[in-house]
Amino acid sequence: MRIALFGDIHANLEALEAVLQDAENQGVTHYVCMGDIVGYNADPAACLEIVRALDCPIVKGNHDEDASGSHSLDSMNPVAAAALEWTRERLTEEQRQWLGRLRMVRQVSDFTVVHSTLDQPAHWNYVTNRFDAMSNFSYQFTQICFHGHTHVPRVYVKSDRVREVPAESVEIETDSKYFINIGSVGQPRDGDWRACYVIYDTDHKIVVFRRIEYDIAKTRQKIMDAGLPEMLAERILEGR
């Protein structure tokens, strides 16, 4: 079975469509979404409906939660807050309720998925190094856990100790555990603008990172036309 794991789409329709097309070309038959379907970019409703139509396991991201609620966004950074206010207005009540009902953690096949970390999924902690990853491993009861949230692809491996290996092609070895950040479809932050997702081949026990080009000029134009903060159009070009 070939499973595509994708997340942090952030309302980037062109990136989402390119990723799903690539997955289909790669022989993917199953999909799992790591959350943050909305926020930042200009197509929240279209992205939500495409992901919903896949009828696949999905976990909730912090932007999904913020877009679904009506609480104040004052404590957030101003750019993210402005985009979320805009997003709330573009979603129907029913779409917002659907986002609000998404679960925080799911077990799919023989692996677990979460948007941030397993130790405190509702706290939205960022895992940026192997020390952060250690606290997650204490709560990880499957061999592999996939997550997102930082928008930076990363692979942490726990055997006798926890180490980080390059986020490229990873062979899953029986005596190790893996905590894998699948990167971001719609707003990568590792200096590479191309959409990122992974394919997990369960028969060959291999996880492969994919980088996909898409029509970024169109996405940037939509951000400007929507009156969203200009900085959002800049950052996707720079991948930060």
Residues that bind Zn ion (CB under 5 A): 8, 36
Q: How far is the CB of 150 from Zn ion (least distance, A)?
A: 8
Minimal distance, residue 240 CB to Zn ion, in Å: 13
Which residue number is nearest to Zn ion in terms of Cβ?
A: 36
Which burial class, exposed, middle or buried, applies to 160 when counting CB atoms under 10 A from its CB (0-12, 13-18, 19+)? exposed
Residue for token pair 């799919």: 108
In whole angstroms, how close is the CB of 64 to Zn ion at the nearest point? 9
Residue whose CB is less far from Zn ion, 41 or 157:
41
213, with CB counted inside 10 A (0-12, 13-18, 19+), is exposed
- Name which of 211, 219, 210 is nearest 14 in CA terms: 219
Q: Which is nearer to Zn ion, 31 or 172 (CB)?
A: 31
| Comparison of 62 and 95: residue with beta carbon closer to Zn ion | 62
User: What is the nearest approach in angstroms of Zn ion to the Cβ of residue 194?
Assistant: 17
Rounded Cα distance, 206 and 62, in Å: 29
Which of 8/14 has CB closer to Zn ion?
A: 8
Order of strands across the sheet that contains 30-33: 30-33, 2-6, 195-201, 206-212, 169-171
- Beta-carbon neighbour count of residue 209 at 10 Å? 19
Instruction: At 82, list the tokens.
Output: 């402005």
Least distance to Zn ion, CB of residue 151, Å: 6
Q: Of 8 and 17, which has the nearer Cβ to Zn ion?
A: 8
